[in-house]
């Protein structure tokens, strides 16, 4: 519950926009205490009293202090010094529990003024700053809702009384503000960039243009851009003079950074360097949209940050049909690689069919942060202005790859070969996943990488290392480890060889070949020689067989189903799901088979046919590694036992997928036995439902969420799946497509 101010007598010093709006907000909130004001303009005071904002007041601070419990100093920053001295002299007149706060836009100067006036920083002084305002000023602009939903930053010192901080927090909470704390220096540095610099630029631009054109034609013909950019130049000049003077050094630092950035852009314009211009504009445009969506709490990263507090659920009704022709979104593995290799190539790479899911978008964003100009995505089209193997630039901070194991592991190899240091971070699920499997062989190549305990993220990668080729025998069948080493191998002084214990997806090898980089293979080993170059070429991303798998299974278990999935990638290293379903008796055919950009594709046609349990051949496990959650649902609806072994890798995906599926099955009443590296599923295929409805938890894992949504087709009651926001990592639009083919499924906010 938010706190409410319980001050018997509040004194607001200064009836400008902030002071009068605070009074109005407190009044509107119905605070019980008296509100007084002190202002040199007696007519303003009279008006404020007539408007019902204050109970009384006067021009002399000493006289107004009698019995006051809370003083709010809302005077211009440079007037703060005099007011502090008066306060220090007459504070004995106030109540013994007096708390003082202020609303100044800079904090270090006000702290200095307080120390000068009081001899030291008083424990009952809580410096603060509401991040609210308007280009309008004074009592005329009063707005009781001015602080609602806005932030107020308090900057208490270690010596500040916690009771005083609590009371100032309550004051702002009463008028609807969100209160946070930071130290004085950080406040001044942050505000110099987010507020003071933009005001300074707006004032300067308007002044410059106004001088250039005495007849003010510019203003007459001003377009929206001018209006948007310069609105704040109408702000109170005295207030802003004071702010620039008071926060001089932080404002100058911010201005220096700005001038350096402007000089770079100027240079790009002057040199006609289209790539450099696009890179800056594109980064800015995306950063701006990211900022917008953060404010609206709807971006992909914001969604992750919010996940703790809100959760998206699926409610999948029992039964339903599976009919039609659909195309699922682009392949996630190929999408990640298209951005990575396109960025490292020389020339412009055009990608089509790109997956606009959060995982591959995180990869795209990371390259933007390393200076690569990338246009799009627009309806699956992305244009990457490659910078060559040595053209990446040092990013401003850690690279955040969200939920994407593929991104983190492939980046680890690629970044180990760069000249600069980097840090890779991810969301809570990714932070639990093992990275030693890439860090260890990379270290053998000469990379310097720090991980958190147990080889977990974040990964801190030291740049500038000379990498040497290795001959590596992978302990597990992992395309991510193989790809990571091949990417590092591009930067190595010699040959990098990787042997895999079983075939894994080979998109990296194929795409490197497509971009003119020679990768050789003999049996279970592939290798490349470092020091070459990649040449840009178009990349067509097929539909993702891992996403198609949910609909393949949906059709395979639903009597009467007849479904075509168009243009699905059927690379032989990915078709375990097709092989396994066919062995279980599915009527699944490949039609219209052809090749696009080095990857085989086909339309997959499934009609319902009764399934039976099988022993899943070990060699199919790596070829269907992401499809097991869906395949387990097929097994639950197949007559007899389906046995899976040698699948321990499922325990280190976005969740422990063996456990997550077993837990959900227990709730649905699907009989099963769990093993360390596998599961037995005792399926049924009756004329009616094959198990009951239940509430299940996806554990935030996209594939578990979609698998249980599909399971509802043969359940007796609804299947409610918790924590489904992460479906957007690999399959944006899943719900719409599922509904289109005949599933009854809705999204709900948990608790709604």
Ligand X SMILES: C=C(OP(=O)(O)O)C(=O)O
Applying CB under 6 A, which residues contact ligand X? 332, 359, 403-406, 626, 653-654, 703, 730
**Alpha-carbon gap, residue 32 to 493, rounded angstroms:** 76
Any binding-site annotation on 433?
yes
| 467 burial via Cβ count (<10 Å: 0-12, 13-18, 19+) | buried
Q: Which does 654 bind (CB under 5 to 8 A by kind): ligand X, ligand S3P, none?
A: ligand X
In sequence order, the 6+-apart residues with CB closer than 8 A to the CB of 95 are 8, 9, 67, 68, 69
Q: Which does 536 bind (CB under 5 to 8 A by kind): ligand S3P, ligand X, none?
A: none
**Alpha-carbon gap, residue 734 to 718, rounded angstroms:** 18
Any binding-site annotation on 703?
yes
Q: Which does 478 bind (CB under 5 to 8 A by kind): ligand X, ligand S3P, none?
A: ligand S3P
Q: Which residue has the tokens 């060699």?
A: 619
| 397 burial via Cβ count (<10 Å: 0-12, 13-18, 19+) | exposed
Which residue's CB comes closest to ligand X? 405
Any binding-site annotation on 643?
no
Q: Which of 174, 333, 429, 690 binds ligand S3P (CB under 6 A)?
A: 333
Least distance between ligand X and beta carbon 644 (Å): 16
Beta-strand runs (E) in 466-582 = 471-473, 495-499, 520-522, 525-529, 539-540, 562-569
Query: Cα torsion for 294, 295, 297, 298, to the nearest 10°?
Result: -60
Q: Which does 730 bind (CB under 5 to 8 A by kind): ligand X, ligand S3P, none?
A: ligand X
Least distance between ligand X and beta carbon 128 (Å): 43
Cα–Cα distances (Å) from 251 to 104, 106, 190, 246, in that order, read 15, 11, 10, 9
Any binding-site annotation on 657?
yes
Of residues 353-412, those binding ligand S3P (CB under 6 A): 406
Q: Which residues pair with 13 in a beta bridge?
A: 38, 73
Catalytic residue among 626, 697, 701, 723: 626
Beta-strand runs (E) in 634-685 = 640-644, 671-675, 678-683
Q: Which does 703 bind (CB under 5 to 8 A by kind): ligand X, ligand S3P, none?
A: ligand X
Measure CA 460 to chain center. Answer: 20
* Choice between 566 and 654, CB closer to ligand X: 654
Stretch 401-420: interaction string toward ligand S3P, x if CB under 6 A: -----x--------------
Q: Which residue has the tokens 């093993």?
A: 675
Q: Which residue has the tokens 């958190």?
A: 452
Could you count the other beta carbons within 10 Å of the beta carbon of residue 57? 25
Q: Which residues pair with 151 in a beta bridge?
A: 178
**Alpha-carbon gap, residue 52 to 37, rounded angstroms:** 12
**Alpha-carbon gap, residue 114 to 116, rounded angstroms:** 5
Q: Which residues pair with 320 in a beta bridge?
A: 743
Least distance between ligand S3P and beta carbon 285 (Å): 29
Count of residues near ligand S3P by CB under 6 A: 10
- Is 626 considered catalytic here? yes
C-beta separation of 646 from 476 below 8 A: no
Least distance between ligand X and beta carbon 668 (Å): 22
Q: Which residues pair with 386 in a beta bridge?
A: 347
Any binding-site annotation on 293?
no
Any binding-site annotation on 107?
no
Q: Which of 480, 496, 547, 637 binds ligand S3P (CB under 6 A)?
A: 480
* Choice between 126 and 404, CB closer to ligand S3P: 404
Any binding-site annotation on 3?
no
Q: Does 660 bind ligand S3P (CB under 6 A)?
A: no
Least distance between ligand X and beta carbon 182 (Å): 34
Any binding-site annotation on 440?
no
Q: Which does 311 bind (CB under 5 to 8 A by kind): ligand X, ligand S3P, none?
A: none
Least distance between ligand S3P and beta carbon 505 (Å): 6
Tokens of 703: 């594939």
Least distance between ligand S3P and beta carbon 616 (Å): 16
Quote the DSSP letter at residue 233. Answer: G
Q: Does 55 bind ligand S3P (CB under 6 A)?
A: no
Least distance between ligand X and beta carbon 205 (Å): 46
Any binding-site annotation on 91?
no
Least distance between ligand X and beta carbon 331 (Å): 11
Q: Does 90 bind ligand S3P (CB under 6 A)?
A: no
Q: Does 483 bind ligand S3P (CB under 6 A)?
A: yes
Q: Does 510 bind ligand S3P (CB under 6 A)?
A: no
Q: Does 505 bind ligand S3P (CB under 6 A)?
A: yes
Q: Does 625 bind ligand S3P (CB under 6 A)?
A: yes
Q: Does 633 bind ligand S3P (CB under 6 A)?
A: no
Q: Which residue has the tokens 């019902």?
A: 52
Beta strand 323-326 pairing with 562-569: parallel
Of residues 640-659, those binding ligand S3P (CB under 6 A): 649
Beta strand 495-499 pairing with 471-473: parallel
Measure CA 608 to chain center. Answer: 40
* Choice between 283 and 702, CB closer to ligand X: 702
Quote the DSSP letter at residue 325. Answer: E
Stretch that binds ligand S3P, among 36-44, 317-325, 474-482, 524-532 (CB under 6 A): 474-482
Any binding-site annotation on 582?
no
Tokens of 249: 């050094």
Stretch that binds ligand S3P, among 166-174, 212-220, 475-483, 571-579 (CB under 6 A): 475-483
3-state secondary structure of 89: helix
Tokens of 337: 């690689």
Quote the DSSP letter at residue 612. Answer: B
Quote the DSSP letter at residue 53. Answer: S
Task: Using alpha carbons only, give the angle 742, 745, 747 rounded to the nearest 5 degrees.
Answer: 145
Stretch that binds ligand S3P, among 19-27, 242-250, 375-383, 477-485 (CB under 6 A): 477-485
| Residues at the interface with ligand S3P (CB under 6 A) | 333, 406, 478-480, 483, 505, 625-626, 649
| Binding-site entries for 3-phosphoshikimate | 332-333, 337, 478, 480, 626, 653
Q: Which positions make up the binding site?
A: 332-333, 337, 405, 433, 478, 480, 626, 653, 657, 703
Q: What residue numbers does the annotated binding site for phosphoenolpyruvate cover?
A: 332, 405, 433, 480, 657, 703
Residues belonging to the active site: 626
């Amino acid at each position: 519950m938010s706190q409410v101010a319980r001050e018997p007598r509040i004194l607001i010093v200064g009836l400008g926009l902030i002071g009068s709006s605070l009074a109005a907000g407190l009044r509107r909130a119905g605070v019980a205490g008296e509100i007084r004001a002190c202002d040199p303009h007696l007519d303003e005071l009279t008006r404020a009293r007539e408007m019902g904002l204050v109970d009384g007041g006067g021009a002399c601070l000493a006289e107004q202090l009698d019995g006051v419990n809370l003083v709010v100093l809302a005077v211009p920053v440079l007037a703060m010094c005099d007011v502090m001295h008066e306060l220090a002299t007459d504070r004995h007149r106030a109540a013994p529990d007096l708390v003082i706060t202020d609303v100044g836009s800079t904090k270090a100067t006000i702290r200095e003024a307080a120390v000068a006036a009081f001899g030291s920083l008083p424990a009952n002084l809580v410096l603060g700053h509401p991040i609210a305002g308007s280009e309008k000023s004074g009592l005329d602009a009063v707005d009781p809702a001015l602080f609602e939903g806005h932030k107020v930053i308090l900057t208490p010192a270690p010596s500040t009384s916690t009771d005083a901080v609590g009371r100032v927090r309550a004051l702002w909470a009463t008028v609807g503000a969100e209160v946070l704390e930071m130290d004085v220096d950080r406040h001044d540095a942050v505000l110099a960039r987010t507020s003071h610099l933009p005001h300074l630029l707006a004032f300067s631009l308007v002044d410059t243009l106004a001088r250039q054109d005495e007849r003010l034609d510019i203003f007459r013909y001003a377009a929206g851009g001018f209006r948007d950019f310069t609105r704040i130049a109408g702000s109170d000049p005295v207030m802003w003079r004071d702010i620039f003077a008071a926060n001089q050094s932080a404002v100058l630092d911010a201005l220096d950074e700005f001038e350096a950035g402007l000089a770079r852009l100027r240079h790009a314009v002057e040199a006609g360097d289209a790539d450099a211009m696009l890179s800056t504009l594109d980064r800015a445009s995306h950063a701006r949209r990211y900022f917008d969506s953060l404010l609206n709490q709807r971006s992909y990263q914001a969604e992750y940050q919010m996940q703790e507090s809100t959760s998206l659920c699926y409610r999948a009704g029992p039964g339903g049909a599976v009919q039609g022709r659909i195309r699922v979104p682009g392949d996630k593995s190929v999408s990640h690689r298209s951005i990575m290799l396109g960025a490292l190539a020389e020339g412009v790479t055009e990608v089509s069919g790109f997956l606009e899911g959060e995982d591959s978008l995180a990869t795209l964003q990371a390259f933007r942060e390393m200076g690569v100009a990338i246009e799009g995505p627009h309806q699956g089209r992305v244009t990457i202005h490659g910078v060559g193997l040595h053209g990446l630039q040092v990013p401003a901070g850690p690279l955040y790859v969200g939920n994407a194991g593929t991104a983190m592991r492939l980046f680890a190899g690629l970044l180990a070969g760069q000249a600069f240091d980097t840090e890779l971070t991810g969301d809570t699920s990714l932070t639990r996943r093992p990275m030693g499997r890439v860090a260890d062989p990379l270290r053998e190549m000469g990379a310097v990488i720090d991980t958190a305990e147990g080889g977990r993220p974040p990964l801190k990668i030291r740049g500038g290392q000379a990498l040497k080729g290795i001959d590596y025998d992978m302990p597990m069948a992992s395309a991510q480890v193989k790809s990571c080493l091949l990417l590092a191998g591009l930067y190595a002084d010699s040959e990098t060889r990787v042997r895999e214990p079983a075939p894994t997806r080979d998109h990296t090898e194929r795409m490197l070949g497509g971009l003119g980089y020679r990768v050789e293979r003999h049996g279970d080993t592939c290798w490349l020689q470092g020091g070459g170059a990649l040449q840009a070429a178009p990349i067509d991303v097929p539909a993702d067989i891992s996403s198609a798998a949910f609909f393949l299974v949906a059709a395979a278990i639903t009597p009467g189903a007849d479904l075509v999935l168009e243009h699905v990638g059927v690379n032989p290293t990915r078709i375990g799901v097709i092989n396994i379903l066919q062995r279980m008796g599915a009527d699944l055919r490949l039609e219209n088979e052809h090749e696009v950009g080095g990857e085989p594709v086909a339309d997959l046609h499934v009609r319902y046919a009764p399934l039976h349990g099988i022993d899943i051949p070990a060699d199919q496990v790596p070829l269907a590694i992401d499809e097991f959650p869906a395949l387990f649902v097929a097994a639950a609806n197949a007559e007899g036992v389906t046995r899976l072994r040698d699948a321990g890798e499922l325990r280190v995906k976005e969740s422990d997928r063996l456990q997550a599926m077993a837990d959900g099955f227990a709730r649905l009443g699907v009989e099963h036995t769990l093993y360390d590296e596998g599961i037995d599923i005792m399926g049924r295929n009756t004329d009616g439902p094959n198990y009951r409805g239940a509430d299940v938890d996806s554990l935030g894992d996209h594939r578990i969420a979609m698998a249980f949504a599909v399971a509802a087709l043969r359940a007796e009651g609804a299947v409610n799946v918790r924590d489904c926001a992460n479906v957007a990592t690999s399959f944006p639009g899943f719900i719409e497509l599922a509904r289109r083919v005949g599933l009854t499924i809705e999204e709900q906010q948990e608790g709604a």
